Amino acid sequence: MRDFEKDIKLAIAINQPESIRTALQQYQHHLRAGTAFVGQWFDIEFVATEADGSQRPLQFSDITDGNMQNIAELALSKGSDDISYLKDKLIKPDDEIYISEILFFALALQYPQLKDDIVATAELIVAYARYCNNTDVMWVDSMRLFGTEALFMLACVDVQYVTLLAKFYIHYWDEEHTHGYEEFLSYFVQQHGWSRQLINAFVHCDNSYYRIHMFVHPWQNGCLNQPIGEYLREHPAEYRWFKHALRQRLLTTPVTIAENVDLETEVKVVREIFTTLFSAQEGIDSEQAFWQQPMVDGTLGDEADALEAEILAQAQRPIAWHHAEAPAQL
């Protein structure tokens, strides 16, 4: 038996979109029912059904659309290890290779008529992660988490869905064992700059490490992309849109935070988000100096505090919680 054997097999007929739609709906059912995982391990494998009724592992070669092949290869190249070489490998039933969710989503994304089902599944992947608020219970194998590549590929097909990928980066995330996961979000800033889709993604990301690494290089000094705070300071209209997006987000969807944080006394949600607008800057050598730097309508600290006070005055419920609602409630 393989080290990370999956007990639930969701079978699809290759090149039959209705079969893929059924598997998407079955995956949704398992996410809602809480049966997609056993303990900390993802327990689903997507397989292909042959004409004689037998089942086999999905293969990269099952993807026939050239653009989707490129996107799937790109997804495999990111994360803890570059495993894009698997595109040329014949995967056998006993191989210790667990990329069926990636291949399944790539197959599904070939069919525009499946978009609603794909998005609904992606939303449940995000909902499950936000309910857990802990990557310790989200592993496919010892190296990779479930869901990330699927959300990445969906955003590659339609960048408006990059917000779903950003939402997936929950507060309690094991950065030590997920080196390379910064690349999934920063890729879109490199491709699109600080478009409103990417500003919105920043607003919806609950993990400060991954927010700041949308522009900061993860293992070298300096930035991959322009810091969002600099961009917003240079474009006042976009800064005001950012504040509007942040206000709307917090009034509708609380931030997930650690279980040991007191929701009543220890949370400064807007300040925490504003902290990641800039990288460490030369000449700013103290926290006080950081908050005293100019923004658009005043100092950074004053603007953060004013926005938080405004949001709290309008909020009908807390703007932070320890975990989101269970997927079964959605």
Tokens of 144: 């990779």
pLDDT of residue 133: 92
End-to-end C-alpha distance for the chain, whole angstroms: 36
* Host H or E run for residue 74: helix 66-77
Question: How many angstroms separate the CA atoms of 122 and 299, rounded?
Answer: 38
pLDDT of residue 96: 94
Q: Are residues 81 and 224 in the same domain?
A: no
Q: Are residues 153 and 212 in the same domain?
A: no
* β partners of residue 291: none
Question: How many angstroms separate the CA atoms of 187 and 207, rounded?
Answer: 17
Pairing of strands 44-49, 41-42: unpaired
End of a domain among 96, 127, 157? 157
pLDDT of residue 281: 58
Tokens of 247: 């206000």
Q: Are residues 121 and 200 in the same domain?
A: no
Cβ(126)–Cβ(162) under 8 Å?
no
Among candidate residues 130, 305, 300, 311, the one with its CA nearest the CA of residue 228: 300
pLDDT of residue 221: 79
Q: Are residues 8 and 72 in the same domain?
A: yes
End of a domain among 107, 139, 157? 157
Crossing angle for the helix pair 236-252 and 300-314, to the nearest 10 degrees:
40
* Overall number of domains in the chain: 2
Q: Are residues 123 and 235 in the same domain?
A: no
Question: How many angstroms separate the CA atoms of 258 and 8, rounded?
Answer: 31
Q: Are residues 168 and 41 in the same domain?
A: no
Q: In the chain, which stretches have pLDDT less than 50? A: 282
Residue with tokens 């039933």: 93
End of a domain among 123, 157, 191? 157
Residues 6+ apart with CB under 8 A from 115: none
Tokens of 234: 């240079």
Q: Are residues 85 and 229 in the same domain?
A: no
Helices (H), 205-319: 208-212, 228-234, 236-252, 269-275, 287-292, 300-314
pLDDT of residue 141: 94
Question: How many angstroms separate the CA atoms of 314 and 227, rounded?
Answer: 29
Residues 6+ apart with CB under 8 A from 21: 114, 117
Question: How many angstroms separate the CA atoms of 197 and 299, rounded?
Answer: 26
Crossing angle for the helix pair 182-192 and 148-157, to the nearest 10 degrees:
10
Q: Are residues 184 and 247 in the same domain?
A: yes
Q: Exposed e or buried b for every residue in 19-32, given b needs 16+ CB within 10 A? A: ebbbbbebbbebbb
Q: Are residues 131 and 163 in the same domain?
A: no
Q: Are residues 107 and 174 in the same domain?
A: no
Q: Is the pTM of this model over 0.75?
A: yes
Which structural domain range is residue 121 located in?
Answer: 1-157
Q: Are residues 130 and 258 in the same domain?
A: no
Tokens of 13: 């007929």
Q: Are residues 84 and 205 in the same domain?
A: no
Q: What is the dihedral of CA 301, 304, 306, 310, to 10 degrees?
A: -170
pLDDT of residue 324: 78
